[in-house]
Amino acid sequence: MLKLVGVSKVVGGELILRDLDLEIPGSATVLVRGRSGVGKSTLARIAALLWKPDSGTVLFNGVDTCTLSEAERSKVRLRHIGYVDQEYVLMPELTVLENVELPLLLLGVEKKKRRELAKDALEALGLKGLEHRYPDELSGGQKQRVVIARALVKGPRLLVADEPFSNLDNEAARNVLDYIRRLSRSIGLSALMTTVDLYGDYQVDYEYVLENGRLTAVKRLEPR
């Protein structure tokens, strides 16, 4: 699904990622742990095709995305990649439901269908009843789950989520991860998630630690 080969990236004059390799198979959940400032967000933005590496290759479904134009990369992101930024930005003038519908609107999905899909995504993440609230009426954890719902509502092939559990309590974090794993099994979703939590128990297929610009594999679950 996604393969990074020899990826390096300089940010603010500092080499953040150095000759990094990562492969995310189809229908796999991947967690990258690391302390603040080690480059998890940089890795997430490159994986989501928001940034290009300074060197190396980023393959999405076998296509070298570094050779694509920005317009072509945007099309791939819109159709196939759901991205969750750790700032969980929402449109303040739109309701929760309208925020979640937004990717479907951009994809040309008709109103009745996109409303149905958005409501289903919100319910799956424990947000039923909040459809008509506005972002400034939500808690931080609720906002974070709305952003995750928006990223998943279009049924992407790849989810890239930067610190998706940071504002969630343990139960909410488990529910979100369970939902992602269900989508992995049912629609073949692959997911790359990052966390600053070095010790928490997350049930994922592959787990890595990012340090000194490179990844070290620490766990792989048995096939489901």
Q: Which residues contact 216 (CB under 8 A, 6 or more apart)?
A: 208, 209
Please state, in angstroms and as integers, the Cα–Cα distance from residue 158 to each residue in 38, 78, 108, 201, following that order: 23, 11, 20, 22
Mean pLDDT value across residues 177-200: 93
Q: Is 75 helix (H, G, I), strand (E, B) or coil?
A: helix
pLDDT by residue (tens digit) across 54-82?
A: 999 999 999 999 999 999 999 999 999 99
pLDDT at 220 (0 to 100): 62
**pLDDT by residue (tens digit) across 122-134?**
999 999 999 999 9
Query: Could you give the C-alpha distances from 192 to 92, 160, 181, in angstroms and in order?
Result: 27, 5, 12
Taking the C-alpha atoms of 98, 102, 104 and 107 in order, what is their torsion angle to the nearest 10 degrees? 150
pLDDT tens for each residue of 167-178: 888 898 999 999
pLDDT for 39 beyond 50: yes
- In this predicted structure, what is the pLDDT of residue 222? 53
On the question of pLDDT at 221 being above 70, the answer is no
Q: pLDDT at residue 100 above 50?
A: yes
Domains and CATH numbers, the chain: 2-220 (3.40.50.300)
Give the pLDDT band (50/70/90) at residue 101: very high
For residues 10 and 166, give the distance between their C-alpha atoms in angstroms, rounded to a whole number: 26
What distance lies between CA 89 and its chain's CA centroid?
13
Q: Is the pLDDT of residue 224 over 90?
A: no
**Termini Cα distance of the chain:** 18
Q: What is the mean pLDDT of residues 130-142?
A: 95
Alpha-helix residue ranges (DSSP H) falling in 96-188: 96-106, 111-124, 140-152, 170-187
Beta bridge partners of 8: 55
